[in-house]
A and B are shown apart, each in its own frame.
Chain A
């Protein structure tokens, strides 16, 4: 006999009540919502970037660049160490992931081997469990090669990604955006999601600049002309760097010393402003104590000589030191616009990125498009709801009304679960909700058709309803499982909006199972008790 126990009724009603409470904030105004006491759930459903507008950026850490830089460093170390020990070498070359050289004098082989070994696995440091930073190969006859080890690369990568996330967070915070999401993805990627951004171009500019700043002396003795193509004769202790105009074209070349006078890490604070004399945009900076002392020492020794302020291998400006700068404060006037000066001060304050970041995927949606999508989604969802209700009531009459109530409850519960879990609702997610409506009704159709069949087979009203619910439930579980499977796979492989779709589809299946089976049953049983129908119009 069909029967719904008291505790079942109570638990269904309780779930509905909780659902209504969680869903409610979505329907009341923001100002009223803010005035609610703190114990009332008041968060609304989390709109995806495609609905509220914003930027989704996937950044990749330039590991090859990091490896190259490391190899350059040990190449310099090798050169210096061998020179100091007066060991002759030839062909000190750098490949993609290794440095190679040849020791010409067999008598010096043993000494060179020891030096190289110390560089390859410096005492006191270890990678993982006593591994090498570089794997050394030695053919015994003087040819050596130091290859960066897998373990060391992994360790570097871990450090760099962690540090980069910190720097990215500081930079984004400085842009004054609300609720950015910054997280590591995979081994060498960082996912940045920033909702409601006015100027996505600025965000990208700020994130794709390494902002490694150095203060170095200009080599005035060197021959700049000879260093430029086609001759390319750059003195080994110098680098050929260019100044750029506002459009990013190389203008004046400089021979800048490789040795760094003061590094950008020593900057304590930077701010953008205007030069009181010319009105040009400038960046003001202040060194920390140690930086101020270093800068003071160098400028004292090099009065009358030019020094270069280098940012990411570009000369920003190369002023001449007129007098020692002892206060640790200064001003950079490059070819700035107000915007670029502001960007630079943000970058300097947030610190340099330990490695270059490239944007490998971007999805930016403007706020207007987001609003359009919300509008379209609402219209489509309401239209779908009305269409389904009309059809189902026309087909099943009173039982169609029951199904409609269950459907309405389903939508409220789905919204409540989405809100409660703070899952993200995207435009495809709205499509998922609409599809859920169609599928939720499927469960009702299965039940009703089964009841119809049982009635045609000559059973009483009560027996038909009982058998209809019981037999259809097993089928409903089977059919719903396939949707859950598809949704789970979609969630696992999808990104962004597609994931949102998977979430609503999957959760929708769960809530619709509950409403179609439990809620409809409750309604039907209550109705039967009151009316005691002899005949079903179905």
Chain B
């Protein structure tokens, strides 16, 4: 049987030499993300803004314009309506609508009142599939927790890498991971995806994923450095990246294809979440090759002489190939 081979054996791609092209592309990517975040900002979900969100299902297809008139007549500060799909909502099509009302009077009691008013305002014939109410206090707390979690995650991951490897690797890992989180946040902004608590989960997951790739490359750099003590850093990074290239690509592909069905069948609730992770995997793969490895070149050189006095430990690093 002939096996599928995405990457040929013994590639000798000059990743380090081509880094300026990659930097240019990446610079553009970062600029776009920055631009989007500054000018559009994030489209925060009710987890972070507070407010009310209800999903209603009618027995027939819903005329959204008509429903909007009904909701507008209730005079909420700001109400958004959109069709929502998947499962029961496709029978018949367009029978579900998501209604989101921004908080108005900053008291949670009024949020509950909004739900009651929507119920009575819509009248009979609608099933409430989902109701979410987030008070202003809770949304502030969730926002703080989300920011804190992301920052701590990136720092902890950097710390872990710094402890397991050396501080230069830790710094490079923080930059690479932060880079991925930032660019993906840019995607959220640019695509107007709903940024909710599960988006934070998506960002943290891809932070974990991205550093996973980075660690594999770093691990190989460390091993090769012990083996080829006289090899320059450029060459070392090129060699290590090429050696791990098949694995990097294969893992990205398996992870991506495992979540594509999630994107297709997971329903609208998981769509944004999955899309962000999928995008993050691609960016993460790229950043472990370029951002993390290339950064090592620009950081103060690792003290090789110290390593030489310490006998190399770990998986038979001294063995020749």
- State the A residues within 8 Å of B (CB): 50, 58, 60, 200-201, 204, 208, 358-366, 368-369, 371-373, 375-377, 379-385, 387-388, 391-392, 394-397, 427-428, 430-431, 434-435, 437-439, 441-442, 445-446, 449, 452-453, 456-458, 467, 470-471, 473-475, 478-479, 481-483, 485-487, 489-490, 492-495, 497-498, 501-502, 505, 537-538
Cβ contact within 8 Å between B274 and A478: no
**Which single residue of chain A is at the shortest CB-CB distance from B263?**
A380
**Which single residue of chain B is at the shortest CB-CB distance from A458?**
B321
Query: Given A397-B1, A434-B262, does the pair A362, B132 have CB atoms closer than 8 Å?
Result: yes
B130, B207, B262, B321: the one contacting A384 at CB < 8 Å is B262
Q: A364-B128, A376-B270, A387-B260 are in contact. List 20 more A-B contacts (CB 8 A).
A: A360-B135, A362-B134, A366-B127, A372-B89, A373-B267, A383-B265, A427-B270, A434-B258, A438-B254, A438-B258, A446-B251, A449-B246, A453-B243, A456-B9, A470-B316, A482-B157, A489-B204, A490-B149, A492-B149, A502-B201
Give the chain B neighbours of A200 by CB distance below 8 A: 131
Give the chain B neighbours of A449 by CB distance below 8 A: 244, 246-247, 250
23 examples of A-B residue contacts, CB within 8 angstroms: A201-B119, A204-B112, A360-B135, A363-B130, A364-B130, A365-B130, A380-B265, A383-B262, A384-B258, A387-B257, A387-B260, A427-B267, A431-B274, A434-B262, A438-B259, A467-B315, A474-B219, A475-B219, A478-B219, A490-B200, A490-B201, A495-B197, A505-B205
A359, A364, A368, A482: the one contacting B88 at CB < 8 Å is A368
Min CB distance B285 to A, Å, is 12
B10 within 8 Å of A (CB atoms): yes
**Which single residue of chain B is at the shortest CB-CB distance from A501?**
B201
Cβ contact within 8 Å between A467 and B316: yes
Give the chain B neighbours of A371 by CB distance below 8 A: 87-88
**Which single residue of chain B is at the shortest CB-CB distance from A392?**
B254
Give the chain A neighbours of B161 by CB distance below 8 A: 482
Query: Given A395-B3, A445-B247, A493-B145, does the pair A428, B315 have CB atoms closer than 8 Å?
Result: no
**Which single residue of chain B is at the shortest CB-CB distance from A375?**
B87
Cβ contact within 8 Å between B4 and A387: no
Q: Determine the distance from Cα of A60 to Cα of B112 in the docked complex, in whole angstroms.
A: 14
Min CB distance A279 to B, Å, is 25
A204, A366, A428: the one contacting B201 at CB < 8 Å is A428
Cβ contact within 8 Å between A388 and B274: no
Cβ contact within 8 Å between B216 and A446: yes
Cβ contact within 8 Å between B266 and A431: yes
Q: Determine the distance from Cα of A431 to Cα of B260 in the docked complex, in whole angstroms.
A: 11
**Which single residue of chain A is at the shortest CB-CB distance from B260?**
A387
B187 within 8 Å of A (CB atoms): no
Query: Given A58-B138, A366-B130, A489-B153, does the pair A376, B87 have CB atoms closer than 8 Å?
Result: yes
Q: Determine the distance from Cα of A48 to Cα of B134 in the docked complex, in whole angstroms.
A: 19
Q: Determine the distance from Cα of A391 to Cα of B261 in the docked complex, in whole angstroms.
A: 14
Query: Given A380-B261, A493-B148, does the pair A471, B3 have CB atoms closer than 8 Å?
Result: no
Query: Given A383-B261, A457-B321, does the pair A388, B254 have CB atoms closer than 8 Å?
Result: yes
Cβ contact within 8 Å between A387 and B86: no
Give the chain A neighbours of B186 by CB distance below 8 A: none
Q: Determine the distance from Cα of A207 to Cα of B205 in the docked complex, in whole angstroms.
A: 37
Query: Given A391-B257, A474-B314, A486-B205, does the pair A379, B265 have CB atoms closer than 8 Å?
Result: yes
B160 within 8 Å of A (CB atoms): yes
Give the chain B neighbours of A479 by CB distance below 8 A: 212, 215-216
Give the chain A neighbours of B321 by CB distance below 8 A: 457-458
Give the chain A neighbours of B132 by CB distance below 8 A: 362-364
B277 within 8 Å of A (CB atoms): yes
Q: How many B residues have CB within 8 A of the partner chain?
A: 85
Give the chain A neighbours of B3 by CB distance below 8 A: 394-397, 537-538
Cβ contact within 8 Å between B212 and A372: no
Cβ contact within 8 Å between B129 and A369: yes
Min CB distance B307 to A, Å, is 17
B178 within 8 Å of A (CB atoms): no
Q: Which 8 A-B pairs have the closest CB atoms?
A: A383-B261, A372-B87, A438-B255, A486-B208, A360-B135, A438-B258, A376-B267, A362-B133
A366, A437, A458, A485: the one contacting B129 at CB < 8 Å is A366
B33 within 8 Å of A (CB atoms): no
Query: Given A362-B132, A445-B250, does the pair A377, B266 have CB atoms closer than 8 Å?
Result: yes
B146, B198, B256: the one contacting A501 at CB < 8 Å is B198
B137 within 8 Å of A (CB atoms): yes
Cβ contact within 8 Å between B216 and A482: no
Cβ contact within 8 Å between A384 and B133: no
Min CB distance A365 to B, Å, is 5
Cβ contact within 8 Å between B258 and A435: yes
Q: Determine the distance from Cα of A505 to Cα of B202 in the docked complex, in whole angstroms.
A: 12
Q: Determine the distance from Cα of A397 to Cα of B5 in the docked complex, in whole angstroms.
A: 11
Q: Determine the distance from Cα of A505 to Cα of B260 in the docked complex, in whole angstroms.
A: 18
Give the chain A neighbours of B205 by CB distance below 8 A: 435, 486, 490, 501, 505
**Which single residue of chain B is at the shortest CB-CB distance from A509?**
B208
Give the chain B neighbours of A452 by CB distance below 8 A: 9, 246
Which of B119, B243, B247, B273 has most chain A Cβ within 10 Å? B247
